[in-house]
Structure formats: C-alpha cells, structure tokens
Structure 1
Amino acid sequence: MQPVTPKARQTRVRYAMVALVFVNVVINYLDRTNLAVAATALKDDLGLSPVELGYILSAFGWSYAFLQIPGGLIADRYGPRVLYAFCLITWSIATVFQGFARGFFSLFGLRMATGAFEAPSYPINNRIVTSWFPDHERAGAISLYVSGQFIGLAFLTPVLIILRDSVGWQGLFVITGLVGILWGLIWYFFYRDPLDHPGVNEAEIDYIEKGGGLVSGKKRSHAQVSVWQWSNLKQVFSSRTLWGVYIGQFAVNATLWFFLTWFPTYLEKYRGFDLKKFGYLASVPFLAACAGLLLSGFISDALVKRGTSVGVARKTPIIFGMLLSVSIVGANYTNDTGEIIFFMALAFFGSGLALISWVFVSLLSPKNLIGLTGGVFNFMGNLASIVVPIVIGYLAKDGDFKPALLFIGAVSLIGACSYIFIVGKIERVITKAEREANLVAGVPPSAV
C-alpha cells in the first residue's frame, strides 16, 4: 500500500476493482443465457418437449439457489481473489462439457454443475463492494457491476445467435466456456483486496473506512473468521425486514429469469420472429434494463448525499421498478412487433430499476455475517430461477404464452407490495452476540 503524503491525492483503485467484477458478471451471465439462445436448436436435436425444456432451463437454478447459503459462508471464509478464480474456471469447464451433452439427463446435470460453481459469485461480489466502497457510493458501485449482465447480454446476444447458427449449439457452449477459463486466470492475476493492493494509498483506505466501508485484509483485520453456528442462520431468517427484501428479490428475479431463459424462445416460437435477421431486437430489453439499473443506482446515491433518508432513497426506485415490470402483460394485447418489444423493454427497464436491491444486504446484514446474509438473500431470490422456467413450461405447453406473462406480472406486483408493506426501517440487524457485547461495553441500543 502506498504511503500518504500531505500532497498525495486519493487513489481510485476501487473503480478498477469494480470494473473487474463487471467483467466477471458479464461472463457469469454469458454462461447462464447461452442455453436460452441454444434452446430452439437443441430442443429439436435432443427431442425435448416444452415441459422438458422448462426443466432444463431451470437446472442451473436448482444447484445455484440451494448452494447460496454455503456459498455465502465460503465467501465469508475465503478471499475473493482465489475463490472467484476457482469458481470462474470450474463453471466454465462445466459449460464446455455442455457442448457434448447427448440427452436430457446429461444436459440437466451439467447445468446443475454450472449453477453449483457459480453459487458463491454474488456473495463474493457483495463482499468486494462492501470492502472497496463507502456506504454513499455503494448503490452506484452495485449498479455498475450488475449492469454487466445487461450490457454484456445486449451486445453479446446477437453474437451468440451468430455463433449458434455458424458452429451449432455445441460450439456455442465450447466457445463461451473457453472464454470464462481465460478470464478466470486474468482475474487471479489482477485482483487484490484493499489492504493488499499495491496501487491503493492510505487516503483511499481512510475514505472507504470513514464512509462505512468494511475494509478487510490481513494488515488490519484482527477479527477471527466466524465459525458456523445455527444461531447465525436463525438470525438472518428471523428478521421481518430481511424477509421483506427476500420476497422482493424473488419478484425481481422472476422477470430477470424470464428474459434469461424463455425470452428468445418466446420471440421465435410464439411470436414468429426471425432472430437471424432481427437478433438486435432481442437486445433492446437488455439495454433498457441496463439503463434502468444505472439510473436507479446513481439517483439513489444522489438522494442519500442530499440528505434523503436511506429508506426512501433505496426503496423508492425498487418499488417503482417492480410496479413498472407489471407492464409485461401488455405484450399479450398486441401483435405488432414494435409494441411487443416496447412492452418487453419497459418491463425489463423496471426490473433494472429494482436490481439495486443488493444494497440492502450491505445495509442490513450483521457485520460479521455479510456473506451468509448475501447467500440467504440470493437463495431466496434465485428460487425464481427454478420456479419461473418450470411454471412457464407448463403454462405455455399448449401453445399459448399469455398465461406465462400474466404470471410474471403478478409476481412483480407481489414484490412491490413486499417493499411497501413488509420492509420497515432500514437499519443493520444486530446479532445476539453483538447486542450482549454492546451491553457489556455500555453502548445503548439507540447508539448502535
């Protein structure tokens, strides 16, 4: 770490680190959505019914969701540099092997493997941002790295379609997997925690710490890594406020997973779009979601800086975004191509507005349980990655996709209501151990 001098300016290494996380997210979602692009081709090659395709599209979610809590614990225990490199390389290897799948069960199993190795990724992302950014910059930082899933998919979806049509769905998996393996090596070479990075100076470290960033690293972190206790899990499941954001995250992810799984099939099979000629149309909703996400993050941070309460500044764009996502139902009432894309883009723009919801993990988590809380939060949210593809498969099995869009709209409305009626005052959850320690130290509850 560079020493500070009276004339030394604060370094900006934190922005380089969030840029690396941004690319991680692009790779992450590339390997989630490649199946959606390949679906129409492999469905015919492997003889899959719409219901079977729904289960295949949900396979990633089974392991990804149910390993979020272990993934959060692992993120609390191991450093992001080594753990993220391991995850990137292993899930990318599983992606390569998907190109050699020969039936329902082999593809289902490999998609589950991809989900398993991706499970710690978002708890790691949250840990990195919590370590590198002060509170008042965190929503913007989160919106920056989460935007990777939309910017990457917006510009790469047409590329994936071209790859599918030129090298087949098998080659699509192989190429995307190899890209992830290469990036895993690059990540390991460049990433460091704040106190281990040679380019950061004391001024930036102090700025992060004074702003509420939980700077971690061997040079200043003397706290012992918390061991697993059932009471910790009970703590993050017993908070009414946390339950409100858990339900809200399921609703946000419901819209997201429609676009990550069934959206290309909806356009091609149920609306008759020729994505070979009009693949750019599939990119429009992703660009809209990215715009919503970036707008939400920076507006929310600006409100906090101007003195608006954290609750209002953080919850307002999420509530408005989920209400806006209900507009997806409008696509049921038109056959015009432009109008269909408009309603899809408007709904996904709303979903983007709501995707700063990860900021609540940083704001509400007990300080020593950020990874665990992030794991539970992502577990609850990613139950949508299991439920949504399967439910849509059943709702659309007779050739009518309208009930599926009604389902997505209804879930979005429930999510908005959760933030309105269940999420209360925004304050960090205090564990029993912390409460007892504060009492011993004479710290009143109101001062915590």
Structure 2
Amino acid sequence: MTTAQTVPQRPVGAADRDDRSSRVRAWTVTGLLVVFMMVNFADKSVLGLAADEIRADLHLSATQFGLANSAFFLLFSVAAIVVGMAADRVSPKMLLLVMAALWSVAQVPAAIGGGLAVLVGSRVFLGAAEGPAFPVAQQATLSWFPNEKRNLPGALITVGITLGVIVSAPGLSWVIQHHGWRSALWVVAAIGAVWAVVWAVFGADSPRGTGAADAASEGAGVPQIPYRRIFATRTWIGTTLAYFTSYWTVALMLVWLPSYLRNALGYASGTAGTVVVAPWAVGAVVLFGQAALTGRLMRRGVSSRRARGWVGGCTLAVGAVCCLAVPLTGSTVVQTVLIALGFGFAGSYATIAATTVAELAPPARSGGALGLMNAIVTVAGLLAPVVVGSLVDAQGDAGYQHAVLLSGVLIAIGAVAAFALIDPERDIARLSR
C-alpha cells in the first residue's frame, strides 16, 4: 500500500458543503456589519437632527454647536489609527464587540442630563469609540472575499452608513419632537446594546486569514512591507485626499443639513426630518451603481486605475458640479434636488476608498493602512462643523450657501486627485520590489 493510499480522503461533496457554509457565514457577517454601520451613523446623526432643539435648550450659538459636534472627532482619528493597527493583530470580532458596547455607554451621560460640558465630554468619548468602526468593519468584511468579489460587500458596509440615516432620521425626529432630544440618545443606546449581544452570538472572524494570522506569519520570518512605503504611494495619497473631500460633505449632512433645510430653505421640522434622507438615498443608489460598474469592469480585465480611480473620480466630479450650481437658482425645489445629488454623489466615495486601499496593502498591513486613511479623512469632521457654524454666525442663512460652495470646491479637488493619482497596479508593483 502506498503512502498516497493511506492519506484519508475527504468525502465527496465535503468541499462544496464547506464552501457553502463559508459563503453563508461570510454574508451573515456582512449583514451584521451593515447593521453595525447603521447604528454607528444613527448615533452620529442625533445631534444634527436635534440641532435647533439643543441650541435652544443649552443656549448655544451656531459656532458653539459646531464645536460640540467637532468634539466628536477630537479622539476619533487617534482611535482609528491605534485600533486600525491593532486589527492587524487582534480579533476584529472582539474589537467590534467592544466598540459597540462603548457606544451605548457613551450616550448615557448626556441622556441623563447636564449642559454643554457633559454633551462635549460624551461626544469625545463616543468619537473615540466610533473612530475605528468603518476601517475595522471593512477589514472584517473584505477578508471574507477575494479581491475581485469585494465591491458588493464593501458597498453594502458603506450603504449601512446611508441606511443608518435613512431608517433612523424620521423615527428619531419624531422622538425628538415628542419626547425631547435626550430621549433619542436613550433610543440609540438601547439599539447599540442589542446589536452587541447579537454580534457576540453570530459574529465571526474570517478563516481566509485575519490580521493576527498574518502577523504570526510575519513573526515566522515572512518579510512585510513597512507602513511608510504604503503611505508614500500615490494611490494611498490620492485615495486619502479624495476621501477627505467626500467626508467633508458627510460631516455637513450629519451636523448642518437638517438646520439648513429648516432655516435657509424654509422646511417645517417634520418635513425636514424626511427630506434630510434624500442625499443619503441618492448615495445608496450611487454606491450600488458604482459597485456593479466597478465589479463588471474588473471582471472584464479593466485596470483598477479605471475601475476604481476613474469611477470614483466621476462620482466626485458630479457631486462638485451639483454643489457649485446650487447658488445659480432661486428655486427651493431645485436647490433641494441639487443638494441631494451633490452630497449624495460626493458622499458615496467610501467604498472606493476602502477597496482601493485593501487592494494596495498586504493583508497584514490592511488594518493600519485603512486606519490611518480613516484618521486623516475624519479630520474633515473636526473642521467642517466649526467652519460652517462660524459662517452661519457671521452671515446668517447666507452662510449655508457659502458652505455648499466651499464643499463644491473641495470635492472638485478630490476628483482631480482621484483621476491623477490612483493606480493600484502600478504601486503594488513598486511595493513588491
């Protein structure tokens, strides 16, 4: 009897069953992380939805309210870097569970009571807990799929951002109007706690290889590319710059768009709570369209430079044109449509950014590469609320219009960066030398 004959053979069909089981688990994890991002952005959106109520209750100027929202991003970037790199060595499942639990805890102080200091302190804590959410969720999801099949799951995680606002905005607006803004904080705290319990039971790390597994191989003598080389590539720089301009619009949608709809465009509070979902809905459609187009192009052998760099550049370019066109019309309806299209297209860049960097960076460096990108990008969230608050205090309702124009200029810069700098294949080849 030969050695080959003594090796146990896998039963016929066992590989197929394992593949099916892995696919089911991959999509289960993806679905849970979509909800994770929904909770994440419901948490972020509460203060924007209650902007007028909070300002009246706590006697805040627009600049002070902007500073309270900017406080959310004070430790956001630092946490994104630290935890993003930790995700290369620690179980993403555990990191995500701890983050979700901390989100719920962070809502409690402001929900109980207190003034501006308590509100700022709770937002700083919440920001630190939420900073790593998107890069770790993307890493945890994309690790279940090969590169050519990552566009759809990556888009779904990003759609969780838009769905979080679309689903929560009308309900939270109702709670705010009928039970007060502090009650809305209790609602999102409870939802976060429920998600953490479900994730503890059904969440899982990918068997394809987690950051911890790759770190172990590194310790066994497998050479790894230094982070500094990844961060110096034109693709990483271009993706980060383009995503920064996109996140600027996301921050404005979260913090100031409800007030803009009420005060500058004249919508009633209830109507504004519904209309505010329009750019998020546009963004969701754009995300799925982008994912389908990018996936189709890559399956046909089109380079990532075109399939990801150019497609992402086009979405930003459309957003820039729409934002810059807003002051050219005096019609409330037309302005609303242009803002929905402009912010929707511009704010849908996150999936392109995440999949591009995940393609560029080796598995053992993807958490850190995504984490630092997210840290730099979310500085836009630190700056945008204060800048717009200052414009509103100085110029009144006209400050909102100037904020939209400023956004259009920034998004146009991001589009240029995407077209000119992003080329993953070129930079992967350089990194491998």
Q: Determine if the TM-score, normalized by the shorter chain, exceeds 0.5.
A: yes
Over 3 Å counting, the alpha-carbon distance change for 1:394 and 1:187 in structure 2 is: same
Deviates more, 1:3-12 or 1:127-136: 3-12
| Residues 178 and 49 (structure 1), Cα distance of their counterparts in 2 relative to 1, 3 Å cut | same
Superimposed CA distance per residue, residues 149-198 of structure 1 (whole angstroms, 9 cap, x where no aligned partner): 11221122111100101110010111111110111111111011233xxx
How far is 1:98 from its partner? Answer: 2.2
Change (3 A) 1:310 1:5: farther
Counterpart residue identity of residue 249, structure 1? Y
Aligned match of 2:237 in 229, 235, 243?
A: 243
Q: Which amino acid aligns with 1:344?
A: I
| 1:361 aligned partner | 357
Q: Please point out which of 292, 316, 338 is paired with 2:333.
A: 338
What is the alpha-carbon distance in structure 2 between the residues aligned to residue 284 and residue 321 of structure 1? 17
Give the Cα–Cα distance (whole angstroms) in 2 for the partners of residues 321 and 376 of structure 1.
23
The one-letter amino acid paired with 2:63 is: V
- 1:234 correspondence with 2:241: no
Identity of aligned residues (%): 25
Query: Match for residue 91 of structure 1?
Result: 103
Q: Normalized against structure 2, the TM-score is what?
A: 0.89
- Conserved 8 A contact 1:249-1:380: no
The change in CA–CA distance for 1:106 and 1:267 in structure 2 (over 3 A counts) is: same
Q: Which residue identity is paired with 1:337?
A: T
1:308 partner SS: coil
Structure 2 counterparts to residues 191-340 of structure 1, below 5 A? 191-195=203-207, 215-216=209-210, 223-224=217-218, 232-326=226-320, 327-340=322-335
Q: Please state if 1:350 is matched with 2:345.
A: yes
Give secondary structure in 1 for the equivalent of 2:67: helix
Aligned 8 A contact 1:292 1:352 in 2: no
**Alignment gaps of 5+ in structure 1:** 196-213, 436-444
- Quote the Cα distance in structure 2 between the aligned partners of 1:324 and 1:431: 32
Within 5 Å, give how 1:54-133 maps onto structure 2: 54-133=66-145
Whether contact under 8 Å (1:157, 1:283) holds in the other structure is yes
- Determine helix, strand or coil for the equivalent of 2:302: coil
C-alpha distance in structure 1 between counterparts of 2:227 and 2:61, whole Å: 39
Shift of 1:241: 2.3
Q: Structure 1 residues 225, 174: closer, same or farther in 2, change over 3 A?
A: farther
> 1:118, 1:170 → 2: CA distance?
20
Within 2, Cα distance between the matches of 1:218 and 1:393? 43
The range that moved more, 271-280 or 17-26, is: 271-280
State the distance in 2 between where 1:41 and 1:431 align.
53
Q: Distance in 2 between matches of 1:395 and 1:5?
A: 68
1:278 Cα deviation after fit: 5.0
Query: Is residue 235–residue 431 contact of structure 1 (8 Å, CA) maintained in 2?
Result: no
How far has the Cα of 1:246 moved from its partner?
1.2
Tell me how large the CA RMSD over aligned residues is: 2.3
- 1:36 corresponds to which residue? 48
CA separation of 1:407 and 1:220: change in aligned 2, threshold 3 A: closer
> Shift of residue 427 of structure 1?
4.7
Determine helix, strand or coil for the equivalent of 1:396.
helix
- The AA in structure 1 aligned to 2:349 is A
* TM-score normalised per structure 1: 0.86
Deviation at 1:425, TM superposition (A): 4.7
- 8 Å CA contact 2:319–2:342 kept in 1: the answer is yes
CA contact (8 A) 1:77 1:225 kept: no
**Does structure 1 conserve the Cα–Cα contact (< 8 Å) formed by 2:92 and 2:140?**
yes
| Aligned residue in 2 for 1:402 | 401
Match of 2:417 in 1: 418
Tell me if structure 2 keeps the 8 A contact 1:58–1:390.
Answer: yes
Query: Bigger shift: 120-129 or 291-300?
Result: 120-129
Cα deviation, residue 92, structure 1: 1.6
2:385 matched residue in structure 1: 389
Aligned equivalents of 2:213 and 2:256: distance in 1? 48
Q: CA deviation at 1:360?
A: 1.2
- C-alpha deviation, 1:250, in angstroms: 0.4
- SS of 2:266's equivalent in the other structure is coil
Kindly indicate whether the alpha-carbon contact (under 8 Å) linking 1:96 and 1:175 is maintained by their aligned counterparts in 2: no
- Counterpart in the other structure of 1:51: 63
> What is the letter of the counterpart of residue 414 of structure 2?
G
Structure 2: segments with no counterpart, 5+ residues: 1-9
Q: Does 1:371 align with 2:367?
A: yes
CA distance in 2, matches of 1:408, 1:179: 32
Matching residue of 1:6: 13
TM superposition shift of 1:225: 6.6
**Equivalent residue, structure 1, for 2:7:** none
- Specify the alignment match of 1:27 in structure 2: 39
Alignment check: 8 A CA contact 1:22 1:145 kept: yes
Distance 1:218 1:118, change over 3 A: closer
CA contact (8 A) 1:20 1:187 kept: yes
Write the distance in 1 (CA, Å) between the matches of 2:102 and 2:136: 16
